[in-house]
Copies of this chain bind each other. A is one copy, B any other.
Amino acid sequence: MTTISAGPDSSADTPGVRHVKRPTPLRESVYEALTEMIIDGTLERGRHLVEVELAGMLGVSRQPVREALQRLNNEGWVDLRPGFGAMVHVPAEDEVDQLLAARAALESESARLAARHATKEAVAQLRELCKVGTAFQESGDIDGAVRTNGELHSMITEMSGNRFLVDFAGQVDRRVRWYYTPVAPVRGAASWREHARLVKAISEADEDKAAQIMREHTEHTRTAYHELQSGQAPAAPAPEKKPATRRRRSTD
């Protein structure tokens, strides 16, 4: 279910069967709870996470906590130091950049495949999401816009029909959203215009165009991030690290 999930319950596609209630394993809940706490800042970056402490905090024993922590470590949310414990991951400066580069590749390919496999219904849904998102944007509801943005992107990756792309893109997306929300408001309007063009390309089954637009879209987000970074950067110390010489965009 995490990294490369093969969808164990493929029985779910058979209509008529509905598993009544599969009580989630505790480790799963713990995992969710911890990511949540990391994202919303309850567990601040660099903080030392102690198993028993978390266990007490969540009302479970060490084991589920350990298992959740190991998964978090595998996915890069925390760093596990043997014999010492887990620290909430402190992102390196170039990490967002790399994350966005990876996302560009993954989502661009997803868009290409989505265009290839697009159905009428799916496109209709995409259009709807676009409309809703734009409305949110115009009415100034940033939270709603961000959420809808996420839904749109994840729907497109799922339309690719490729579990691995879905899974990887999902991971990257969550990470990006973690240390990255501030950009959303700035990009807003332009972002939704690009979405509209993207959906149009998909509806026309124009693979290359869809891939191209998605790539540019992600790329714009990246440059927006860098501008924001160098513009209002007084928060972080961030010594001289070639702020203007961001040449690198050439082709992509």
Chain A interface residues toward B at CB < 8 A? 1-6, 8, 10, 13, 22, 25, 27, 63, 66-67, 70-71, 73-76, 79-82, 89, 91-92, 95, 98-99, 101-102, 104-106, 108-109, 112-113, 116-117, 119, 161-165, 168, 171-172, 175, 207-208, 248, 250-252
Can you list 29 contacts pairing A with B, beta carbon distance less than 8 Å?
A: A2-B74, A3-B74, A3-B75, A3-B76, A4-B171, A5-B76, A6-B76, A6-B79, A6-B89, A6-B91, A8-B81, A22-B82, A63-B63, A67-B67, A71-B74, A98-B163, A98-B164, A101-B162, A101-B164, A102-B168, A104-B109, A105-B106, A106-B106, A112-B251, A112-B252, A119-B251, A161-B248, A207-B251, A208-B251
Main DSSP-derived SS at the A contact region: helix
Our pick among B75, B108, B252 for the contact of A161 (Cβ within 8 Å) is B252
Say whether B71 contacts A6, CB under 8 Å: no
Q: Give every chain B residue within 8 A of A162 (Cβ-Cβ).
A: 98, 101-102
Give complex CA distance A177, B21 in Å.
37
Say whether A6 contacts B102, CB under 8 Å: no
Complex copy number for this chain: 2
Say whether B82 contacts A250, CB under 8 Å: no
* Distance to closest chain B CB from A198 (angstroms): 17
Most buried by B among A89, A101, A104, A172: A101
Give complex CA distance A251, B3 in Å.
21
Our pick among B13, B102, B248 for the contact of A116 (Cβ within 8 Å) is B248
Q: Give every chain B residue within 8 A of A102 (Cβ-Cβ).
A: 109, 162, 164-165, 168
* Distance to closest chain B CB from A161 (angstroms): 6
Give complex CA distance A116, B95 in Å.
18
Give complex CA distance A207, B248 in Å.
12
Say whether A250 contacts B119, CB under 8 Å: yes
Our pick among B6, B22, B25, B168 for the contact of A95 (Cβ within 8 Å) is B6
Say whether A105 contacts B66, CB under 8 Å: no
Give complex CA distance A3, B72 in Å.
10
